Amino acid sequence: DLFYRLNVLPVPLPPLRDRRDDIPMLCSALISDMNRKHDCRATDIAPAALALLGQHHWPGNVRELRNVIERAVILAGEGTIQ
């Protein structure tokens, strides 16, 4: 019953691997969220690291990206994520 209620207006959303241009914006938003959650002070992500993220296939979509950024923020603690 829930499926049919939610399926009234389907919202097609392509996978992250088809929206690679969204990765920098998503990273910025996720860094802010993870800084608040873990009391860290990461400021941004290095261009080389961002390029690597853009090359990944992202089978886990945005949830996988979120986990990667969360770990990076925790490990960096502050400053630029390398």
Full-model pTM: 0.86
Paired strand residues for 80: 44
Q: Does 29 have pLDDT greater than 90? A: yes
pLDDT digits (tens, 9 = 90+) for 35-71: 999 999 999 999 999 999 999 999 999 999 999 999 9
- 42: which 2 tokens? 């990461």
